[in-house]
Structures are given as C-alpha cells and as structure tokens.
Amino acid sequence: MDQIKKYEFKKALEELMEKSGRGTELVSVYIPPDKQISDVTSHLRDEHGQAMNIKSKTTRINVQSALDSILSKLKYVRVGENGLVIFCGAVEKGGDRTDIETAIVEPPEKVLSYIYHCDSSFFLEPLEEMVEDKEKYGLIVLDKREATIGILNGKVVDAMKHLTSSVPGKIRKGGQSASRFQRLREIAIEDFYNRIGKHASQILLQIEDLRGILIGGPSPTKEEFIKGSYLHYELQNKILGEFDAAYTDESGLHELVDKAGDVLEGLDLMREKKLMARFMKLLVNNEAMVAYGEKEVRRKLEMGAVDTLLVSEELDTEFVHDLVEKAEEIGSDVELISTEFEEGAQLKRAFGGVAAILRYATKTG
C-alpha cells in the first residue's frame, strides 16, 4: 500500500470513526473473498427478521433500514480479491436528526472472517490493523536451560526456533571438584550462547527492514548474552533493549512483546522527532537545504530536489494528494508527522503542515 493510498485510507477511517448513532443502529459487515454473497444475503435477512424484536421503535426502524440498504447494495457490488466491507446506519446529524449513510470499502488486505456487527459506532478495528505499519522485530528469550527465537510482524508473533541446552544444574555430581564442575558448566553455557547466536543470526539476517531486536529472560542470563556479542555484528547493533521475562518458550515471546510495549509504541514517534529535529537544525544552520509551505515545497518537488517530504497528518487528503504523488514519482521518502509532540504540532502551526529536507542546497523563492 503506497503512501497516498495509505494516507487516504486513514482519513476515510477517521471520518467513519467520527460517525455515531443512537443505540445499536450502525451496522458493519465484513465479507471475506471466499464468502458466498447468497450466504451473506441469507444471514442479513435473518437479522432483519430478528430486528423485529427490538423494543425501541426508532432503533428497530433504523436497523431494518440499514439492512435493507445493505441488501440492495449486495445485488450489484463486486467482492474483490481482498473481500468487501460495508458500513451503514442512521448517523446523528445534530438537532435530533439522523440520516441513513452507507460506505463501501475495499480493504487493503484480505478480510479473514465474516463479521456482522451492530453498535452505536462502526466496527473499524480490523481495518485499522490493516493500515498499521507491519514492522518486523527479532525476538529472543533465553535462560540457561532453553531459548526461543521469534519474529514480531506487526502484531503477530511467530516462533521460529526452540533450543535446549546441555548446561548441567548448579548442584554438582559426586567425584567432581567444585572448580572442575564450574569450568565444565561455563563451557556448556558458552556453547549454548554460541548456538543461540548462530541460529538467531541465520534467521534474522534474512529479514529485510528489520527494525530492531528485543531480548528477554532472567538476570543475569540476558545481560551475559548481550555483553558477549554472540549475534552477528549487524544484529548486535539493532538490540533495542533487554526485558525481564519469566518464560523462555513460545509464551515467553508474547511476554517479551508485552513487556516491550512502551518501547515499540515510542519508536515511530522517535523517528518522527528525529526527522523534525533534523529539519529544524537545517532551518537554522543551512536554510538552503530545506523548504516549507505548499508553494515552496511544490517548487522543490518540480526541481526533483526533495529528499524527504514531511506532511502533517492533520491536513486534508485533497491538499496533499498531488504533493505525495509527485514525491513518489521522483523517489522521495514521504513521512506523515503526527501532532502528538511539539515539533510535529509546529509543522502544522508554523509551516502550513508541509515541509521538506532537500537532496542538495537550492535558492529560496
């Protein structure tokens, strides 16, 4: 999904998010590509009949009107390769007025299951997940007995490899000196760490655009593993942090993701902050390397001089559509900047919501 479509889709979801009804009058229907329309129609007719049991006359009429509208649309709409989503219901317009509104959405990813949902708001979570950046992270949980290597892809955790060690317990067997036992134990631990590093490197080096690596387990095991640099140097540099985890099997991977939640949520914001900090620094020290405002940025795009286009998420879709399209034509990066931090809010407030970091110095005006 390119930046333009992603931006437009997010804006469409925001508009749907703002719509509300009275009671459970807004209907959401998710249709997978392999679902027979005749089955959907049959189910919605059943729901139409069941709606007769709704006590509130207004709610009953509005739900049935929404279902009638959806049923009429299903006679001619085409279900694409990713399926189809229909939203319909009596949307509040203020002043004690409601209007039946319908939105038909072609999802950017495959709808996996049939969903029929009635509420005072449209059910948008499945679509919101589709437009979230599916960034990939490496996951390693380990103690001295076992280790599990996995990948976080968006919100999905995939366990890739489980390893067990031959490290003896802390209680030595009879006939061995304490020093010899400890030495053998240290050798076994070192061997296990090397095996973990080898397998993790083989798995994670194959992943394009790996954002980082999270490591979990009890202390001091995870610290020893990180300090020992058992991963390939490219991966060692991508370690984002270490986190306490009680489990080191597949469930430990999920525990690790939960523990690292704040770190993961902050990464996009940190990237945006770094970009805005770079823009501000260039603005002060080398203004010829930046542009801001629609007219000036558009001129730099026409020149092919834009390296990174910065666009506020608060702008209307129509305003930025052709700017983003032009940026992609000349191979520029496009970053949507939130207003959740001061510099992001300043982009909207002081620079009209559009700015650019340039490939080379140019004259203004």
- CATH label of the domain that carries residue 299: 3.30.1330.30
Instruction: Dump pLDDT digits (tens) for 155-211.
Output: 778 999 999 998 877 665 655 677 887 888 889 999 999 999 999 999 999 998 898
Instruction: Dump pLDDT digits (tens) for 300-326.
Output: 999 999 999 999 988 877 777 888 888
Co-location of 193 and 215 in the same domain: yes
Co-location of 113 and 54 in the same domain: yes
Instruction: Dump pLDDT digits (tens) for 326-345.
Output: 888 898 888 888 887 888 88
Co-location of 158 and 140 in the same domain: yes
Encoded amino acid at 306, one letter: V
Question: Where residue 173 sits, what CATH number does that domain have?
Answer: 3.30.420.60
Co-location of 221 and 281 in the same domain: no
Co-location of 115 and 187 in the same domain: no
- Does residue 4 lie in a domain region? no
Co-location of 251 and 293 in the same domain: no
Provide the total of helices (H) and of strands (E) in the chain, helices listed first: 12, 13
Q: Identify the domain boundary among 98, 131, 164.
A: 131
Contacts of 155 (CB under 8 A, 6+ apart): 129, 132
Tell me the Ramachandran region of residue 117: left when phi exceeds 0, alpha when psi lies from -120 to 50, beta otherwise: beta
Q: 177 or 250: which carries more pLDDT confidence?
A: 250
- Does residue 337 lie in a domain region? yes
- Does residue 9 lie in a domain region? no
CA end-to-end span of the chain: 34
Instruction: Dump pLDDT digits (tens) for 141-165.
Output: 999 999 999 999 877 789 999 999 9
Q: Identify the domain boundary among 131, 151, 185.
A: 131
pLDDT of residue 355: 95
- Does residue 52 lie in a domain region? yes
Co-location of 252 and 151 in the same domain: yes
Question: Where residue 22 sits, what CATH number does that domain have?
Answer: 3.30.960.10
Co-location of 240 and 273 in the same domain: no
Check the CA dihedral 213-217-223-225 and report its sign: negative
Domains identified in the chain, total number:
3
- Report the side by side order of strands in the sheet with 26-31: 97-105, 84-94, 26-31, 115-119
Q: Identify the domain boundary among 219, 238, 259.
A: 259
Check the CA dihedral 234-237-241-243 and report its sign: positive
Instruction: Dump pLDDT digits (tens) for 7-51.
Output: 778 888 989 999 998 888 999 999 999 999 999 999 999 999 999
Co-location of 125 and 175 in the same domain: no
Co-location of 149 and 254 in the same domain: yes
Task: Give the count of beta carbons closer than 10 Å to the beta carbon of residue 313.
Answer: 19
pLDDT of residue 95: 77
Encoded amino acid at 131, one letter: V
Indicate whether this model's pTM tops 0.85: no
pLDDT of residue 266: 72
Contacts of 351 (CB under 8 A, 6+ apart): 292, 293
pLDDT of residue 336: 84
Closest CA to 250 of 162, 138, 156: 162
Contacts of 355 (CB under 8 A, 6+ apart): 279, 290, 291, 292, 293, 297, 309, 310, 347
Please, are residues 215 and 253 in contact by the beta-carbon 8 Å criterion? no
Residue 1 has pLDDT above 60, yes or no: no
Residue range(s) defining the domain that contains residue 329: 268-358
Sorting pLDDT into bands at 50, 70 and 90, what band is 267? confident
Co-location of 200 and 285 in the same domain: no
